[in-house]
Structure 1
Amino acid sequence: MPFRPAAGGVTVAVRLTPRASRNAVVGIGTGTGPAGREQAVLKVMVTAVPDSGRANEALVRLLAKQWKVPGSAITLVAGATDRNKILHVAGDPADLMTRLTTLSVPTDPSGSSKP
């Protein structure tokens, strides 16, 4: 799982795709973590460009809305200029682990927004 309990909250390993066609949490997959190891990551797409932190800001806004937490509760810990990121979500670790896991599974498995 990309979610790990941490002091004062939960850390989340994220693989971000900027300049996507839509803003969406794609689901859980595998990616490269720190030290080049393969690990579980939360795959997220944003339409923002990776310029001046715009994609990171879009990531935080999207996840805050998806997870129903204030944007101020999400902090970028590592990966400011990389697609692989580590976020810290402040709050009760037990509650967050359950909530984030449940709310990070896409409701439309096809990923299609077309009728």
Structure 2
Amino acid sequence: MSFHTQTPAGLVLAVKAQPGARRVQIGPVVAAAPQPGWPSARLKVAVNAAPEDGKANEAIIAALCHWLGIKHDAIALTAGASARDKKFLIQGAPLIPDP
């Protein structure tokens, strides 16, 4: 199952957000219902930030940056600002570690 796709703009990650978790955790990869323009799976990202005022989105970006070893300005939320299913665009070509 793939949770990412390569585009001319960069790498797109599909994420299943879990805000309000006890700890920050990346993975596992979970299957998702088919949606046009989305990969067939999502990378589950648990963060302890609340889902209000964009706090969980910022915490997810910080967790992904740490996991991928990239700078904060190399990643942007492109879809799902207020949903659990989110897409992030990563500029450059980072190596995706196993979750």
Specify whether residues 11 and 73 from structure 1 end up closer, same or farther in structure 2 by C-alpha distance, changes over 3 A only: same
Amino acid at match of 2:23: R
What SS is found at the alignment partner of 1:15? strand
Q: Distance in 2 between matches of 1:64 and 1:74?
A: 8
Runs of 4 or more consecutive aligned structure 1 residues displaced over 3 Å after TM superposition? 32-35
Counterpart contact for 1:13–1:33, Cα < 8 Å: no
Kindly indicate whether residue 74 of structure 2 is the aligned counterpart of residue 73 of structure 1.
yes
Counterpart contact for 1:15–1:85, Cα < 8 Å: yes
Aligned length: 97
Computing the radius of gyration over CA atoms, which structure comes out larger, 1 or 2?
Answer: 1
Deviation at 1:34, TM superposition (A): 4.1
- Normalising by the residue count of structure 2, what TM-score does the alignment of the two structures yield? 0.89
Query: What's the counterpart of residue 58 of structure 1?
Result: 59
Query: What's the counterpart of residue 23 of structure 2?
Result: 22
Q: Distance in 1 between matches of 2:50 and 2:22?
A: 11
Counterpart contact for 2:11–2:90, Cα < 8 Å: yes
Q: Distance in 2 between matches of 1:15 and 1:73?
A: 20
Instruction: Note the residue ranges of structure 2 that are not aligned, 5 or more in a row.
Output: none
- Normalising by the residue count of structure 1, what TM-score does the alignment of the two structures yield? 0.77
Give the % identical residues: 29
Instruction: Note the residue ranges of structure 1 that are not aligned, 5 or more in a row.
Output: 106-115
- Pairwise CA RMSD: 1.8
